[in-house]
Amino acid sequence: MSHALTQLLWPAVIVTVMVIAVEFLAGRVRLGVRRGTISICIGLGLLIFGSALSVVGPRNPLLRVPPLNRPLTRVFLRERICLSGGAFFLACGIIWRVAAVIGHRDVKSLRRKCRRTADELSSAQEVLNSIVRSSVSGVMILDTVRDEAGIVVDFRCRFMNDEAEQMLNRKASVLLGEPLLQRVPCIKTEGLLFEAVNVLETRRPFRDERCCSQDGREKWFQIAIVKHGDGLITTFTDVSRRKRTEEELRRTRRHDALTDLASRPLLIDRVAQAITRRKRLPEYTFAVLLLDLDRFKIINDSLGHEIGDQLLISVANRLRANLREIDMPSRIGGEHVPSRLGGDEFVVLLDGIADARASMIVAERLQDALGQPYIIEGHEVTTSASIGIVTSDGEYERPEDVLRDADTAMYQAKNTGKARSVIFDERMHKEVLERLTLEKELRQATEEQGFMLNYQPIVTLETLALKGFEALIRWPHPRRGIVPPDKFIGLSEELGLIIPIGEWVLREAGERLQEWRERRPGGLLSMTVNLSKKQLMYPDLISFVAGVIKQFGIDPPSFVLEVTESMIMDDIDELTPVLAGLREMGVRLAMDDFGTGHSSLSFLHKVPMDILKIDRSFIMRSGKADRYDAIIQAIVQLAHNLDMEVVAEGVETPEQVALLKSLNCDFGQGYFFSRPLKESDAAEVVANDERFRKAA
Ligand code: C2E
Ligand code: MG
Ligand code: MG
């Protein structure tokens, strides 16, 4: 049995070794035969051979199956070996084949993937190359150069694109592989070496704009540096043109186009710096002068805008020249900044000026300089400046506040005679605050119609009977008490509030007139209402008055509207149709405060009026100087000649009453008869006007 096994094992081992050798060689030599195929072929061959033996064997007596007790015949053995060897080979081959097919498929797909990735990589590489080559930015790949201690001391250029060559104005052949610091010195001067080392150490990219002086020219580059291995990739774009445009824009914004002085933003900036410096260094002081040219509007309107512009340029030049010459002993750095705010308004920041007195001296010198005549296109032009001065003693927080106060002081200078300098003080500040509060309260009062009317009787001088009333507005204020009209009418005109206020007065007075006329024996009574210029200019005035007349059923001639000479004088052509329109409606017009304006008596011929009110200042002086009596007499006669009635204002004494009577004046109004009355008191007078006769 052991012999048989040995006989069976040896051929099997030999065959296996052969197969392995063949397969190995096939795999190595790449016969083109697929792995496992040879094994399958050999296995099949052996199986066929073994089968043939098993067919041929039984016919051959030699080959007949040996009895159990006889040793195995050779044929029988070979048949067994062939069959088992064939089966073994076949099994191995199939396993090999299956494994090869599976492996091959994986390998194939892996190979395909690799090929695709390689393709993609190479196309990406191409794209990258084209981007880098066609880029408008310069690109450089730099290797570091380190000293023995490992410290970066320089860079070597490994790659640079065409644009980099152009921007640096150096050929790649000169730079590649060479230390850069010597050849591109701005790396060192602009601190780029430090930034580059920082990128290497921190891996944080760097991006900034730097101005590099190159071959004697300044160029601005936008530079980006990123770490790449132990080196860097740097891209840089020439942004010089953009920078120049930005600079130009900044300059235009910060400089006045006409005079090339600093403009408002730059001035605000410099004043803000001065405020900050003042807080840090208490010994530092500054002042701001706000100059407004006097009569500039007249020059501009009469000689034309071109001459106006030339004048502004000359003023700017004189400012510049005079500020250059002035020495300021207590200056801490800085320089004076002359600027133009717009129109004919200039501001000078006196940076480091000693005190208010020194500012005043500068202001006077500037005034002297600006006040000298200018010769512009053959015209001799003269102007002067009103100057408002603010010093840093005010401990300001915001530049806008400095300018606001300088403006207030400048207006003060204008109002007190022009060509003057005024230093802003606390009192002015209080006035400004006061005005702001008043504005707020007046707006509120207008909204709430928080006003009241007083009524001052107008008396017929001959009979001493009540003729009518003048409605006079009052503002009952919770804190200020009863505010008289001269304290708020001007402000309400400025704020445009006079329109709603005036409409309220017209309605209120109209309603009272109608109410009192019904109570009055004979129904004769007039109501006089004051109008302001803004109201006269208001296009809806005529229709509003018509509405009031209609609403209360007023007899139009009993409704009197008062205007002053000065109101009409400047705009006589524009306002005459409005006055005519009111008269057409039947309403009567009175010329208030006559004699205080600058009009001549001939003025009365031009303007259609029904009543003339002689101003209080004439009545006051009457009886004391004959001259005034004569003037009053002339006015009364003239008015009568023009079919006008005459009211004397401010009648305070019985002598005045007697004189006015003797001069044929029709009516009187004044404290002698009555002060302006509350509504209820006025209503009593309507019912009984005996008091005027008793008073006389
Ligand atoms: P006006 O129209 O000349 O009014 C007469 C002013 O003289 C009133 O002052 C009156 O109180 C005052 N007055 C009257 N008689 C005498 C007198 O004998 N002696 C003295 N010293 N003064 C006398 P008031 O009420 O303060 O008004 C001042 C001005 O305010 C008015 O001057 C008028 O121009 C204006 N005004 C009053 N109410 C209104 C209004 O409703 N609208 C407009 N736009 N202005 C008004
Ligand atoms: Mg009046
Ligand atoms: Mg008056």
| Identity of the residue numbered 604 | L
Compute the chain's Rg from CA coordinates. Answer: 56
State in Å: Cα 613 to ligand 3 middle.
7
Kindly list the distances between the CA atom of residue 691 and the CA atoms of 456, 685, 696, in Å, as whole numbers in the listed order.
Answer: 14, 8, 9
Q: Which ligand 1 atom sits nearest the alpha carbon of residue 484?
A: 26
Give residue 338's pLDDT.
Answer: 93
Angle between the N-to-C axes of helices 296-303 and 305-325, in degrees from 0 to 180, rounded to the nearest 10: 140
State in Å: Cα 670 to ligand 2 middle.
12
Q: Where are the beta strands (DSSP E) in 273-373?
A: 286-294, 337-342, 345-351
Ligand 1 mutation target, pool 458, 530, 566, 669, most atoms within 8 A of CB? 530
Q: How many CB atoms lie within 10 A of CB 364?
A: 13
Closest CA to 76 of 148, 4, 164: 4
State in Å: Cα 385 to ligand 3 middle.
36
Q: Is residue 590 within a helix (H) or strand (E), and if so which, with residue range?
A: strand 588-594
β-sheet with 345-351: strand ranges across: 337-342, 345-351, 286-294, 384-391, 421-423
* Segment 299-325, tens digit of pLDDT: 888 889 999 999 999 999 999 998 865
* Segment 442-454, tens digit of pLDDT: 999 999 999 999 9
Mean pLDDT of the chain: 86
Which of 184-198, 506-520, 642-656 has the weakest average pLDDT? Answer: 184-198
- What residues are paired with 384 via a beta bridge? 294
DSSP 8-state symbol, 178 = S
DSSP 8-state symbol, 33 = P
Tell me how many degrees the CA angle 560-563-565 measures, rounded to the nearest 5.
140
Tokens coding 606: 């031009």
State in Å: Cα 193 to ligand 3 middle.
85
Dihedral (C-alpha) 573, 574, 578, 579: value to the nearest 10 degrees? -40
- pLDDT at residue 91 greater than cutoff 80: yes
d(CA 42, CA 12): 13
- pLDDT at residue 269 greater than cutoff 60: yes
Closest CA to 90 of 82, 78, 79: 82
d(CA 660, CA 622): 9
d(CA 468, CA 385): 50
Give residue 192's pLDDT.
Answer: 82
* Segment 545-565, tens digit of pLDDT: 999 999 999 999 999 999 998
Binning pLDDT at 50, 70 and 90, where does residue 1 land?
A: very low
d(CA 562, CA 644): 14
Burial zone of 108 (CB within 10 Å; 0-12 exposed, 13-18 middle, 19+ buried) = exposed
- pLDDT at residue 662 greater than cutoff 80: yes
Q: How far is CA 447 from the centre of its chain?
A: 32
Number of the ligand closest to the Cα of 452 = 1
- What residues are paired with 294 via a beta bridge? 384
Kindly list the distances between the CA atom of residue 565 and the CA atoms of 424, 603, 605, 642, in Å, as whole numbers in the listed order.
Answer: 35, 9, 13, 16
Number of the ligand closest to the Cα of 614 = 3
User: Which is higher by pLDDT, 530 or 694?
Assistant: 530
Ligand 1: which residues within 6 Å by Cβ?
456, 472-473, 484-486, 489, 505, 530-532, 562, 592-593, 616, 649-650, 652, 669-671, 676
| Identity of the residue numbered 145 | V
Answer for the pair 655, 672: CB distance below 8 angstroms, yes or no. no
Dihedral sign (CA 85, 88, 93, 96): negative
Tokens coding 519: 């109570």
Which of 11-25, 162-176, 202-216 has the weakest average pLDDT? Answer: 11-25
Give residue 601's pLDDT.
Answer: 67
| Identity of the residue numbered 608 | P
List helix spans (H) across 135-239.
Answer: 162-168, 172-175, 186-189, 192-202
Residues in the chain, overall count = 696
In DSSP notation, 35-86 reads: TTHHHHHHHHHHHHHHHHHHHHGGGSGGGSPPPTTSPPPHHHHHHHHHHHHH
Neighbours of ion ligand 2 (CB under 5 A): 530, 562, 592
What is the model's pTM? 0.54
For residues 401-415, give the mean pLDDT. Answer: 93
